């Protein structure tokens, strides 16, 4: 998987949220590199660890972003909140899948993360821009 590079076009117009998105992208890149370099025995364990880290960061970031949306009276907050919850659930399901012995390929895991992250920032978080 190619690494993701932060671009100015990713900016949603708030410095703190942009920084958190950059941090999240850095986390994705770290996980991508880590999984590529791991051997098969370390693999499952590392995937769970990586997902746990993503989940923790998502919790922190989502809560900040939702509070920010409340502050600016963002009208579509309930739907956005649900999208965040969907992500939490998706990660929870992936962890369960790995822990119950299911096969989850490196590429599959990274594709889920990458698609969600980029899609969500560019399509959903970006909508906040006009309300600031």
Q: Give least dist CB 45 to Fe ion, A.
A: 28
97-122 as b/e: b if 16+ CB within 10 A: bbeeeeebebeebbebbbebbeebbe
- Measured distance CA(110)–CA(33) in Å, rounded: 11
Total binding residues for Fe ion by CB under 5 A?
2
Closer residue to Fe ion, CB minimum distance, 14 or 125: 125
Scanning 25-33, 67-75, 88-96, 120-128 for contacts with Fe ion by CB under 5 A, the matching segment is 120-128
Binding to Fe ion by residue 125, rule CB under 5 A? Answer: yes
Q: Give least dist CB 72 to Fe ion, A.
A: 13
Q: Give least dist CB 35 to Fe ion, A.
A: 23
What DSSP string runs through 46-114?
HHHHHHHHHHHHHHHHHHHHHHHHHHTT-TTHHHHHHHHHHHHHHHHHHHHHHHTT----HHHHHHHHH
Q: Pick out residues in 59-118 that bind Fe ion (CB under 5 A).
A: 65
Q: Give least dist CB 113 to Fe ion, A.
A: 14
Interacting residues toward Fe ion by CB under 5 A: 65, 125
């Amino acid at each position: 998987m190619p690494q993701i590079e932060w671009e100015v076009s990713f900016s949603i117009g708030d410095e703190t949220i942009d920084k958190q998105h950059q941090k999240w992208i850095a986390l994705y890149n770290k996980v991508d590199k880590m999984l590529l370099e791991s051997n098969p025995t370390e693999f499952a364990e590392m995937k769970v660890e990586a997902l746990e880290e993503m989940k923790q960061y998502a919790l922190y970031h989502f809560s900040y972003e939702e509070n920010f949306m409340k502050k600016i009276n963002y009208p579509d907050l309930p739907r956005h909140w649900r999208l965040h919850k969907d992500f939490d659930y998706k990660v929870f399901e992936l962890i369960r899948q790995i822990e119950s012995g299911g096969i989850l390929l490196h590429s599959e895991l990274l594709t889920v993360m990458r698609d969600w992250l980029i899609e969500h920032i560019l399509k959903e978080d970006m909508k906040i821009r006009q309300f600031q």
